[in-house]
Amino acid sequence: MRQRPRFRTYPPIVCHRQRRVRFQEVDQLAYMWHGHYPSWLEDGREALGKKYGISYLDFYHNGVVTPLKSLEMEYCHPLRYDTIYTIETSLLWNDAAVIEYSYRILDDKNTCMTTAHSLQLMLDVHGTLLLDAPAFYKAFMKRWAEGLVQ
Amino acid sequence: MRQRPRFRTYPPIVCHRQRRVRFQEVDQLAYMWHGHYPSWLEDGREALGKKYGISYLDFYHNGVVTPLKSLEMEYCHPLRYDTIYTIETSLLWNDAAVIEYSYRILDDKNTCMTTAHSLQLMLDVHGTLLLDAPAFYKAFMKRWAEGLVQ
Amino acid sequence: MRQRPRFRTYPPIVCHRQRRVRFQEVDQLAYMWHGHYPSWLEDGREALGKKYGISYLDFYHNGVVTPLKSLEMEYCHPLRYDTIYTIETSLLWNDAAVIEYSYRILDDKNTCMTTAHSLQLMLDVHGTLLLDAPAFYKAFMKRWAEGLVQ
Amino acid sequence: MRQRPRFRTYPPIVCHRQRRVRFQEVDQLAYMWHGHYPSWLEDGREALGKKYGISYLDFYHNGVVTPLKSLEMEYCHPLRYDTIYTIETSLLWNDAAVIEYSYRILDDKNTCMTTAHSLQLMLDVHGTLLLDAPAFYKAFMKRWAEGLVQ
């Protein structure tokens, strides 16, 4: 993963969500197929978004869509069928009008199996890139900077 | 994508494959959902692998599996439902016992919509990391270095 | 599959499409997972629809959507990884404002591996059930009844 | 769905599991794509199987695999993005060496949105059809018949 040094930053907001590897997700070797991870990372984002009022629908109702700009995954260990794992989703502070997450997938022994990173842009309903986050998200960031987001 | 300077390298081996965005793949905004790309990148790898005798099954029959170590995608423009697009898969020369690909997804006007990069390891049947590629792959690389792979 | 006796009927319109079982589609036993079939049946419908001007988009541009009402699949033999198979899609004559298909999945030796049947309704943009097919589809059915659809 | 009259039968064993419609699962009209249901029906089966010791892995460890023979789905109402729904899975008594389930998908107001039915065969490790269920499953059915399965 790329290094991302930063000025004036605040601690990430972290959310955990548990899942179990499904029969339909494993390949011939009984391991989760690598292409299923984006699906569960999205679940991690949604879980965090819902908890803090910054989900897909919150943006949508404010006239903003947030398409992925980039997604990077680093596979360290494979997940076996039926393993219970945790998606640890961390919203990273970013001053630009983007949404930046990092992720860790942990198995049932808390071993880090996969790490990931995503960046989302903000577009208005006409598909125009926003250079400024919508008001509701700025308010959320203000609370975050003040340490009021739990 | 990361910069990857290299000594002694040979031109990539490139393969093209055409697809059409399917109804089931687009989201509410009628764009291909970002998480479907790994599926089509795998098709690109398989197409190239079959053409040059280095596919999943070729490795498998030589007692080697090749799990993804990393996958990075950079989304530039979204693909709309029913658009015909091309997966351009490039096998990059790499001296280590890894398989390295870069990809471009081009729309029907040849605009680059998405770029991607993947790295695969080589493991034997016991899951042990190979530090040396299997003989059939080394023979392939020799032909590649000699300019004999078309 | 249910028996469907009929009065005044015309021969089905049939379309073939070839696919290969993908790595990501097979389970631990190296067989296509049963839940992937609806995806390829949709490809069969789309192929037939495009050929005869009655695709999803043709309906959509006439203000009609055609959700699935029912889908039945009968699995006779499993498909192995890398097998080339044919989706045989048959549009069945139906006097009601519905779209009825039957399907056969044939392997590379022309053995029937799976049969299926689907029924689609026609709804207008407000979600109201149409009791009468749109004009363009009626015109298509007229040509069909006259033996003019090839 | 087909009628299934029966002699000597026992009440079904029922299991409920809650899910939420995910962004990646809805189509352009914001409805769950019909082809995603087999995935969640499998989750229903797995939930019931784990609860009663008759899951995929329980069969597998007894040398038996249980491929789908048929799957039928009847779509009554579509599920919207973000709706919380319940998969109600009912294991139906069947004297033959098969596993038979019926399903109801209920929305958050308890309206039945989809019904389904599946039939699974039992095969040994060589792929031979079993005419007799394995001992552990027979023992389970005995407890079921005696009203001891809760």
- Please provide residue A90's backbone torsions phi and psi, each rounded to the nearest 5 degrees: -120, 120
DSSP 8-state secondary structure symbol assigned to residue C3: -
* Runs of H (alpha helix) within B15-105: 37-52, 56-60
Tell me if A6 is assigned to some domain: no
DSSP 8-state secondary structure symbol assigned to residue C13: E
Name the stretches of chain D with pLDDT < 50: none
Q: What is the pLDDT of residue D5?
A: 55
Residue C88 three-state SS: strand
pLDDT band at B6 (very low <50, low <70, confident <90, very high): low
Assigned token pair, C16: 């073939």
**How remote is the C-alpha of C113 from its chain's centroid?**
16
Tell me if D5 is assigned to some domain: no
Average pLDDT over residues B60-78: 97
Assigned token pair, C39: 């995806």
Range of the domain at D103: 13-145
Please judge whether A42 and B35 are an interchain contact, meaning their C-beta atoms are less than 8 angstroms apart. yes
Nearest residue of B to residue C57, measured between CA atoms: B82
Q: What is the pLDDT of residue A8?
A: 65
Task: Please say whether the beta carbons of D104 and D77 come within 8 A.
Answer: no
Q: What is the pLDDT of residue C3?
A: 52
Please judge whether C78 and D65 are an interchain contact, meaning their C-beta atoms are less than 8 angstroms apart. no
Tell me if C5 is assigned to some domain: no
Tell me if C150 is assigned to some domain: no
Instruction: Give A68's strand partners.
Output: A120
CATH assignment of the domain containing C29: 3.10.129.10
Over residues C1-26, the pLDDT tens digits come to: 555 555 568 999 999 999 999 999 99
Tell me if A8 is assigned to some domain: no
Longest dimension (CA), chain C: 49
- The sign of the dihedral angle between the CA atoms of D62, D63, D69, D71 is positive
Question: Has residue A108 got a pLDDT over 60?
Answer: yes
pLDDT band at B150 (very low <50, low <70, confident <90, very high): confident
Tell me if B4 is assigned to some domain: no
Between CA B4 and CA C18 the distance in angstroms is: 39
**How remote is the C-alpha of A15 from its chain's centroid?**
9
Please judge whether A46 and D56 are an interchain contact, meaning their C-beta atoms are less than 8 angstroms apart. no
Between CA D25 and CA C52 the distance in angstroms is: 29
Nearest to C22 among B23, B24, B43 (CB): B43
Q: What is the pLDDT of residue C8?
A: 65
pTM, full prediction: 0.92
Average pLDDT over residues C42-71: 97
- How big is chain D, counted in residues? 150
- Please enumerate residues of C whose Cβ is less than 8 A from a Cβ of A: 23-24, 26-30, 33, 35, 81
Over residues D48-75, the pLDDT tens digits come to: 999 999 999 999 999 999 999 999 999 9
Please judge whether D23 and B27 are an interchain contact, meaning their C-beta atoms are less than 8 angstroms apart. yes
Question: Has residue A4 got a pLDDT over 80?
Answer: no
Residue percentage of chain C with pLDDT more than 70: 95
Q: What is the pLDDT of residue D150?
A: 79
Over residues C91-114, the pLDDT tens digits come to: 999 999 999 999 999 999 999 999
Tell me if D97 is assigned to some domain: yes
Please judge whether B28 and D33 are an interchain contact, meaning their C-beta atoms are less than 8 angstroms apart. no
Chains that touch D (3 or more CB pairs under 8 A): A, B, C
Residue A67 three-state SS: coil
Please judge whether D30 and B26 are an interchain contact, meaning their C-beta atoms are less than 8 angstroms apart. no
Question: Has residue B47 got a pLDDT over 60?
Answer: yes
Tell me if B1 is assigned to some domain: no
Chain B residues near residue D35 by CB distance under 8 angstroms: 24
Instruction: Give C19's strand partners.
Output: C85
Long-range contacts, stretch A51-56, CB < 8 angstroms, 24+ apart:
A51/A15, A52/A13, A52/A91, A52/A140, A52/A149, A53/A136, A53/A140, A54/A136, A54/A137, A54/A140, A56/D23
Q: For C128, left (φ over 0), alpha (ψ -120 to 50), or beta?
A: beta
Size of interface C-D (CB pairs under 8 A): 49
Between CA D150 and CA D141 the distance in angstroms is: 12
| Total domains in the fold of chain D | 1
Q: What is the pLDDT of residue C150?
A: 79
* Runs of H (alpha helix) within chain C: 37-52, 56-60, 135-145
